[in-house]
Chain A
Amino acid sequence: MAERSTPIRVLIAKPGLDGHDRGAKVLARGLRDEGFEVIYTGLRRTLDAIVAAAIEEDVDVVGCSILSGAHATLLPKLVASLRASGASDVLVVAGGIIPEADRPELEQAGISGIFGPGTTIAEVATFLRANARRR
């Protein structure tokens, strides 16, 4: 991260109704140890709340953890809402249980990275460093 003067800021969000945040917490802690500033918002946040938090925290990345199967609805809406709020340079990535078949559509909608079970923290960190906006 020598080329950056400040740490990459990442919002880890749990949109919608699923109540499983173990994966989100492991990732939050892991990214902290990789030198990221991680803002964790807690469970069951609405998309509006996630967008407002991303704006107020001026994050470079929004990472959503979704295990409920609602990714196909929630994630494209989130990207559209961020763009409408002027945060179009914020990278949106997702983790959780997301079937292979759903990926092309999500990527089309602007979800830059999709990380399934078995992804290591180091892989996520490398992806974020390569793809987050520069400043």
Chain B
Amino acid sequence: MPADAKHLAARRELAQGISAVERPGPAANQRIQEALAASAADARNALVVGLTGSPGAGKSSLAAALADVARAGGRRVAILAIDPSSHESGGALLGDRVRIDEHPDDDGRFTRSIATRGSGRSLAHVAAAATILVEAAGFDLIFVETVGAGQAEIGIARLADVLLVVEGPEGGDEVQAMKAGILEVADIVAVNKSDRPGAQAAFDRLRSGLALGAGAPELALVSATAGAGISELLATIDDLGAGRGVRGRARRVEAHLVAAAESHVDAQVREARASGALTTRAEQIVAGTQSLTGSLTALFGISETPDA
């Protein structure tokens, strides 16, 4: 059986590292810094590609198709598939592997499913740290796939070197393409399922909507399952990624710092809810016995200084 200890040892070490940095704290920070130092020493320069879009647009299939083409070209490819945790139970159903072929004997591939846990956003707090560890493990191309909650969802844009928004054939109209939000920060918009009716029309609508603005993203019409347009899309991704220089790692650290701050605030909010302090304070503010400013300090340690 090829799945012996030596064969899987490197993947196991990376996998356990990601689990370790999912628990924030000094030990996690230490591990992330070691990974950064290792990447610097080895002069690594991974390309991080964000994939986002509505559920069912075909992000997992497209990430898998792009990974296959890149791997065939000799690159080491990882997919980080992020799915939401339940607000009710804290559990998560992570099903992206269903659409990603397993390659158990290939150490040039790595797939990890990540739950958003306490994040309350569509990007897990651990996402940036995970890309830092994956890069240090020698992967050249890292796909980070996340459900786009829609127009306000730009966490992935901060993390990715190149952001790909995936649309289905039924995707938006011209006016939606003109709205502020994710399409504004997209580097590429790919209309997937080009083999389905309506895909060309969706592509045309998007093109006419986006053409009206400056700095419009690249557009692609692809089919992940039929393999149409995938090589061309990867070439576009590489073109856009070529200019990133060594900024990529600094961008990932920046995203991690933001995530760490958000994680801290999210934990405070959870605690304030769970203890009832949030509700109590709100009632006191309504009753006029507490001030908003004083409550922000008491609940979250926020001290607002008066406007200058």
* Chain A residues at the B interface, C-beta cutoff of 8 Å: 5-7, 28-29, 31-42, 45-49, 51-53, 55-58, 77, 81, 84-87, 135
User: Are B4 and A84 in touch, CB under 8 angstroms?
Assistant: yes
Q: Which of A7, A46, A51 contacts B90 (CB 8 A)?
A: A7
The 4 closest A-B pairs by CB, nearest first: A49-B102, A52-B104, A42-B98, A48-B104
Does chain A have a CB within 8 A of B305?
no
Q: Which residues of A have CB within 8 Å of B4?
A: 84-85
Q: Interface size bucket, B side?
A: 35 or more
**Which residue of chain A has its CB nearest to the CB of B17?**
A58
With A and B bound together, what is the CA distance between A103 and B95 in angstroms? 30
| Apart from the given pairs A32-B93, A47-B1, A55-B12, 13 other A-B contacts in the complex at a CB distance below 8 Å | A7-B90, A34-B89, A36-B91, A38-B91, A41-B102, A48-B3, A52-B11, A53-B104, A56-B110, A84-B1, A84-B4, A86-B5, A87-B12
Q: List 6 A-B contacts (CB under 8 A).
A: A6-B117, A7-B90, A29-B93, A32-B91, A37-B91, A41-B102
A86 touches B9 (CB 8 A): yes
List B contacts of A29 (CB < 8 A): 93
Once the chains bind, are B98 and A40 in contact (CB under 8 Å)? yes
- Nearest Cβ on chain B to A6's Cβ, whole angstroms: 6
B93 touches A56 (CB 8 A): no
Q: Is the CB of A32 within 8 A of B92?
A: yes
Tell me the nearest residue of chain A to B111, going by C-beta. A56
Per DSSP, chain A at the interface is: mixed
Q: A40-B94, A48-B2, A48-B105 are contacts. A56–B88 as well, Cβ < 8 Å?
A: no
Contact indicator B98/A41 (Cβ below 8 Å): yes
Q: For B105, what are the chain A residues with a Cβ–Cβ distance below 8 Å? A: 48
Judge if B279 is at the interface, Cβ distance under 8 Å.
no
Query: B interface, by DSSP: helix, strand, loop or mixed?
Result: mixed
B264 at the interface (CB under 8 A from A): no
Q: What residue in chain B is nearest A33 (Cβ atoms)?
A: B89
B97 within 8 A of A: yes
- B89 contacts across to A, CB distance below 8 A: 32-35
Question: Is A48 touching B94 in the complex (CB atoms < 8 A)?
Answer: no
Known contacts: A41-B98, A49-B104. The answer to whether A85 contacts B3 by CB under 8 A is yes
Q: Which residues of B contact A55 (CB under 8 A)?
A: 8, 11-12, 15
| Chain B 1-42 residues near chain A, CB threshold 8 A | 1-5, 7-9, 11-12, 15-16, 18-19, 22-23
Write out the residue numbers on chain B whose beta carbons fall within 8 Å of the beta carbon of A32. 86, 89, 91-93
Is B115 interfacial (CB-CB < 8 Å)?
yes
The complex places the Cα of A53 from the Cα of B3 at a distance, in Å, of: 11
Interface centre among B9, B15, B94, B115 (most CB of A within 10 A): B94
- Taking a contact as CB atoms under 8 Å apart, the answer to whether B97 and A51 are in contact is no
A84 to B1, CA, bound (A): 10
Which residue on A lies nearest to B92, using beta carbons?
A: A37
- The contact of B97 among A35, A39, A135, by CB within 8 Å, is A39
How near does chain B come to A34, taking the closest CB pair, in angstroms?
Answer: 6
Instruction: Please give the distance in Å from A7's CB to the nearest CB on chain B.
Output: 6
Closest to A30 in B: B91
Which chain A residues border B8 with CB–CB below 8 Å? 51-52, 55, 85-86
The answer to whether B12 touches A53 (Cβ under 8 A) is no
Determine the chain A residues whose CB is within 8 A of the CB of B23 once the complex forms.
Answer: 5-6
Instruction: Report the Cα distance A84→B86, complex, angstroms.
Output: 34
Of A39, A45, A52, which is within 8 A of B113 by CB? A39
